[in-house]
């Protein structure tokens, strides 16, 4: 007998019909002789709707109250799913995050799981119950509810799988697995059979929507093998694990991220400590900086360009302005830019990957504003209006439709 953790996202439980569909998948797994823990997200757009409701009343509500509100979404879906499973004649219990033992830190809206006290989960499994757990939530040391950040239910599922040493962690979604590009935009996108944690982490961080990046980080740390698969179409999905059989594929995916603000500071003094001052200030304010480019100093000045998320753009500009006001610098913030990236462990040992990508963009007459590379990824910043065309062209250059 195996212990299987199954996670279902918001679209998989969006209405009564879909909830019944999930109940059937779960009970089929249970009937086959497995212990099953199910983690669910809020139904459909519930979380977005709750955020909107809050904004109608208070544009800047206390983060604690926001979490108090948002945890309600998952409370609805666990109880409904438990009722659906009950109606099929199976023993089941639903648990909120705190009832399932999720302890987190106190960063409301983006809390980290500290540990899971598994006694309750284990007791319910010992009674042969199917256990349905609310994703995305926990309790801090003040006994206040917290949430784990958008898309956090994936992390809840991986955390339970790690804590209970589950045999399998299946992430059910509305696509059939991890694709080489967004299949709705690129018709030749292929489903991957397997992908490494590192590649998946890059893809998730660079804009692929299928898995939350913290969940992949945790899966890697605790060696939890993941399977990403469809709740609507019972075909094998994509396995995410440490090592995969070597394939000929040089790159595993092309992603697009439009949540980019590009900040340029022109005319900084060419002295030691300038970059340190700017980026330490941004770090103090919790502003995450992605790509950084600094020009070579000339005539005593230099220029600095970097990217942050769009929400952080105005704050970043303000902070840099405060620091450099006396220097006569010029600061601009562009938001009509996107990041297009390729990811693949194969590129590490393969010269010419970058030039293939740049050639594909050149052939489309797409101008590159910034470039950033790591061992297993190359990202470019381009105009947003060129982004979809760029993804197709680059995908086609590496993974031609044959
Ligand atoms: N319901 C939460 C959200 O929409 C958590 C999740 O879906 O994983 O972000
Ligand atoms: Mg959701």
Q: Is 72 in the pocket of ligand 1 (CB under 6 A)?
A: no
Residue nearest to atom 9 of ligand 1 (CA): 150
What contacts 319, CB < 8 A, 6 or more positions away?
278, 281, 282, 285, 287
> Is the pLDDT at 343 greater than 80, yes or no?
yes
Average the pLDDT over 375-386 and give the result: 97
% of the chain residues with pLDDT over 70? 99
Q: Is 8 in the pocket of ligand 1 (CB under 6 A)?
A: no
Q: Which residue has the higher pLDDT, 184 or 85?
A: 85
Average the pLDDT over 357-367 and give the result: 98
Average the pLDDT over 182-198 and give the result: 93
Q: Is 153 in the pocket of ligand 1 (CB under 6 A)?
A: yes
Question: What residues pair up with 331 in beta bridges, in sequence order?
Answer: 265
Identify the helix (H) or strand (E) that includes residue 391: helix 387-398
Q: Is 313 in the pocket of ligand 1 (CB under 6 A)?
A: no
Identify the nearest ligand to the CA of 211 by its number.
1
Q: Is 41 in the pocket of ligand 1 (CB under 6 A)?
A: yes
> Separation of 238 CA from ligand 1 center, angstroms?
21
What contacts 355, CB < 8 A, 6 or more positions away?
none
Per residue in 97-113, pLDDT tens?
999 999 999 999 999 99
Average the pLDDT over 58-65 and give the result: 96
> Is the pLDDT at 122 greater than 80, yes or no?
yes
| CB environment 325-347: b (16+ within 10 A), e (fewer) | eeeebebeebeebbbbbbbbbbb
Q: What band does 208 get if pLDDT is binned at 50, 70 and 90? A: confident
Candidate from 9, 44, 45, 47 with most ligand 1 atoms within 8 A of CB, to mutate: 47
> Is the pLDDT at 207 greater than 90, yes or no?
no
% of the chain residues with pLDDT over 90? 91
> Separation of 156 CA from ligand 2 center, angstroms?
13
- The SS3 assignment for 286 reads coil
The string of DSSP codes covering 165-220 is: T-SEEEEEESSSS-BSS-TTT-TT--B-SEEEHHHHHHHHHTT--SS-HHHHHHHH
Ligand 1 atom, smallest distance to 48 CA: 4
Q: Is 150 in the pocket of ligand 1 (CB under 6 A)?
A: yes
- pLDDT value of position 286: 87
Q: Which of 29-38, 137-146, 325-334, 392-401 has the lowest mean pLDDT?
A: 325-334
Per residue in 255-276, pLDDT tens?
999 999 999 999 999 999 999 9
Average the pLDDT over 25-44 and give the result: 98
- pLDDT value of position 402: 58
**To 5 degrees, how large is the angle CA 175–CA 181–CA 186?**
95
> Separation of 157 CA from ligand 1 center, angstroms?
12
Residue nearest to atom 5 of ligand 1 (CA): 151
Identify the nearest ligand to the CA of 77 by its number.
1
Average the pLDDT over 19-36 and give the result: 98
Give the tokens for residue 12: 């998989």
> Is the pLDDT at 137 greater than 90, yes or no?
yes
pLDDT, mean over the chain: 95
> Is the pLDDT at 293 greater than 70, yes or no?
yes
């Amino acid at each position: 007998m195996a212990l299987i953790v199954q996670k279902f996202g918001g679209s998989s439980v969006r209405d009564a019909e879909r909830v019944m569909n999930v109940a059937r998948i779960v009970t089929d797994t249970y009937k086959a002789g497995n212990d099953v823990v199910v983690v669910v997200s809020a139904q459909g757009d519930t979380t977005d709707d709750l955020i909107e409701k809050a904004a109608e009343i208070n544009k800047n509500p206390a983060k604690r109250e926001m979490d108090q509100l948002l945890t309600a979404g998952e409370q609805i879906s666990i109880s409904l799913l438990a009722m659906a499973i009950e109606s099929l004649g199976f023993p089941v219990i639903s648990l909120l995050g705190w009832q399932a033992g999720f302890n987190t830190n106190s960063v409301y809206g983006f809390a980290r799981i500290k540990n899971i006290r598994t006694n309750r989960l284990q007791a319910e499994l010992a009674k042969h119950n199917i256990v349905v757990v609310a994703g995305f939530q926990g309790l801090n040391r003040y006994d206040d509810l917290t949430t784990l950040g958008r898309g956090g239910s994936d992390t809840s599922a991986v955390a339970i799988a790690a804590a209970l040493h589950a045999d399998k962690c299946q992430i059910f979604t509305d696509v059939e697995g991890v694709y080489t590009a967004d299949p709705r935009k690129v018709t030749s996108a292929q489903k991957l059979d397997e992908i490494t944690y590192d590649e998946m982490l890059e893809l998730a961080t660079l804009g692929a929507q299928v898995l939350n990046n913290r969940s992949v980080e945790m899966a890697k740390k605790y060696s939890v093998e993941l399977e990403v698969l469809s709740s609507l179409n019972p075909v094998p999905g994509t396995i995410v694990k440490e090592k995969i059989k070597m394939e000929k594929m040089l790159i595993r995916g092309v992603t697009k991220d439009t949540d980019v603000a590009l900040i340029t500071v022109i005319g900084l003094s060419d002295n030691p400590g300038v970059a340190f001052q700017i980026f330490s200030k941004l770090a103090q304010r919790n502003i995450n900086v992605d790509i950084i480019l600094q020009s070579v100093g000339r005539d005593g000045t230099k220029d600095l360009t970097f990217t942050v998320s769009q929400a952080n753009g105005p704050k970043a500009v303000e902070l840099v302005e405060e620091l450099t006001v006396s220097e006569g610098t010029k600061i601009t913030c562009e938001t009509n830019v996107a990041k297009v990236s390729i990811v693949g462990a194969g590129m590490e040992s393969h010269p010419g990957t970058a030039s293939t990508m740049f050639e594909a963009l050149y052939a489309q007459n797409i101008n590159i504003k910034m470039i950033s590379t790591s061992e297993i990824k190359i990202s470019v910043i381009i105009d947003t209006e060129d982004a979809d065309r760029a993804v197709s062209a680059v995908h086609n250059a590496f993974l031609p439709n044959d």
